[in-house]
Structure 1
């Protein structure tokens, strides 16, 4: 069941930004407020399922009640009819940037200080949501975004619930809620979760950002869940360099099996991270004493892992009124822990049995990673060390093979053998074919060609182009006089070819203009600015009495900021003060090249001076999606397009409105 192109006669859906297990998110335009938003809808037939509808509405209620700069804002919610079925939707703040999962997939490591700063931002969001009584229950790298400015945004409260909800367990309608690598022990056991469960998941995420891998890995989700319940994590400093004992202490405290030994609030964990960042001593946050602890034996402290009090944040015992040392734990704690462990093992055995029965009933559904075959991951573009680490996370062994020229950067993986997504037997080796850099290409001969033709030919060959002008009375203006590198030389794709282009010499005529010639009195030649840097080009136009109007076009083959074309063209005779559009190149900007999307128009139509409605109709007919920005400018008629900016197949029109 496809989502309609428009919800509530207001939100115009553009392209799919992401898709998860139960919903997909669209980039959309709010036509009423003229802003870009993200619209989340249920996937396909899930819209008919009352359980998923309830979860979806719960997300809207949970996140909609939160207003914090580190939490994705909810603007609107509602339902629309799709094929006769009510389709709930959530309108959210559109956040530019990438998720921490995307960052991890690039293989680029972060400094421990930056990792802690990111987690401080996450903990600020959790401190706010916990204070509002909302537990997220699915903190993981895929649900945390970083904006280009470095701001943290926590999103996807799809399985969040109020902390007082009696149904807050991991098992619901026979489904496990959460993600195995970041699941707290109580979640794995199906017990009631609280704010401290979010802190455990945050600790798992902190661990992975520091080391490049989660604290527990296994062949199946059940194997990972078992480790969360019964095994201690390896300190991060053992797996990665540059991690201080203070960082180890924060991570290991957040990953305590017993939530009473974890941080008791997001504020406590954040305070310790900030203390480590600033080089201060860590705060001491002790779990609250149980009612019977006033006369308890000091032996209870033996149940903690072997770590110093300074690193674990365990408070020393304090003498009680009778001179004896009171402890925070009653003597019965050891038997209580044994009971908890037995319950945990029983829960895990039930999970293992359920998976085994499922595999017997559905043998063709895949082995979920627990069989003898593994899928080769896509390692192209990674360095050998990063590729080896990525493969090791998936229990694969790699070996370096030969090198050859390819489109990937030198000394990165060009391809693998077996290829990505192929299945191999456990224990087999994946050979990495490394790149020696792009294969050199012969530079074509463009001397004597018009600049636009030369530009197109060089771009088709994979080169960038820079233009220089030279006065030459013997050549046709706009003709290429020389090129560097010269024709026939070999150069790598992406290198810049500099073209010297003929420009008409300035007139030396002493002939007086005819006073009766109105054309000489009312028109001026437009200077040619193609090939110049756009700021310099704009200034040159202003110096000659013209009004520059800037627009940009994605063109990675030309140096960013270089003017690609102008309208009117150089040399044209026009009235002083005429607006001159200059289109300059910008990089690709990480736009998705989705083969399912319609082809992006190659030419950028000039709609400057048109009324907005007329311009929008023309652009949409050519396959563009159009958005509007209003700008107070009394020099133009209201509704006139005074600036246009292109990004792929999206066009932003700046429209004049009264001041």
Structure 2
């Protein structure tokens, strides 16, 4: 595939990845002068017409998605490669690694990293679900983490096209079955909650570094999703909080109705957990933080001594001791109630008086609307300080925030931002139906560059613009390229010359026009042997390859030529006498008529001169009648008797196709 060009514009540069269904290549779009990633389906899928049809439909639907956390799809096409129609997807090219690579490198992720990535994955799914697209193959291998730590979810729509047979196609697909929902394993109905289940498995793997279900075959793993209870994440990683474990376990419930009803409710719980930070375990640790209190107790040794001195039972003393015990127990109960009231009252008062704090997210690089939504969901205020030009950030992206990411602030705090206006923008002029020279001038005035592609056109004159990209009046940064398609005129087609000699001139003209050729000069020629209006000569011989609309000259018979009366008195030839019988119609043919013809001789010699020689054959004699050096086409007037043959030689080599007879 390296070096091949797909769709007439995408040049394959190198292989950058491979999955169970496709191979991914880095390519350059020669039309827009940018790098893209191209996913090309493997051979085992391209022969399944039903799969290809679903693949195209789902990929085109996925191309309609536009979200910062979803890998953009630019184009979907099919290319003929080695006699096979190979489908491909053109995607956004990013630098980064898969989430699977990061998990393998670190062993497991921190809770903060897990929540940070999970929220972004969930936001991508929220956008897809709102457009009625279910991913069906959420796994770390399909989640890219860019160099600036942003999530990009890939492969939307492809999983739906895959048939159940893909479970056992390759070892790479084995990776998918680890994240399948039970309904997918059963081949049942899938919906948005199927993506939630898969995301729960991904979260499980992030915080534990392990997969909940493993087996020797895809089928055995799928059965475990359906039948086996999941191992608690806290049994593997005791540092995980109960709250995070509860979120994960709710995602991976076997019944769809027991999971989160939609992705938005999951996002809310994840963001609530994130905003609580280290205080999430406050209730769990309450017992450990309870204060130590002093309560009265009975000393066992002193009690034994008193009992020894007073061996005899004393009703009065017993009654007195019994009363003392009741007093002590009452005091203990009262102290307990008092301390408990103070303890719970303290935390209730603290809860009422304490203003909640939240961690400021990193919104630099986000689109304005997304950043505003994220800030306001945390209970903070979003304020635009200014809008400024930026070489680094595209128009509408955040280039600065007033509070550093991860800093904790009180709810209601205002976060100021500066938003990029992009580089200096200019409006693309309308170039369609303008000449190439004028288009170049207009773009130069705007500070824009031009990228030219040529194409034949039956409607647009040669040298004029057929199409442009971007469209007219689009705003572009100064120095950007505008791609134009320039007309080369009508496509030149080849036709084969037919034979029209011997046909009536009207029939000959009709046949020449029907063949895609034009009628050139029609020259009348007397003929003693050919009837009037019959074609006796055509400029190009039958079988000659010509361009369409080439003009063809014809000679047409006018019948026998009328000769003047030669039997006049005093005419030396009237009695057939004369000089040695030279004019008696026999011998050297002196009675034959002489005429002058024009010969056009085409010369193609790349500028180098060649020797051109003309030889005339008549009355059994051969004589050279012209010789000269030429580097281009020439036209010569040649004189000879009717029936004489004129042969042409280039540098001494006979050119039979240029031979002419004088008629």
* TM-score category of the 2 structures, normalised to the smaller one: 0.3 to 0.5
Greater gyration radius: 2
What TM-score, normalized to structure 1?
A: 0.40
What TM-score, normalized to structure 2?
A: 0.40
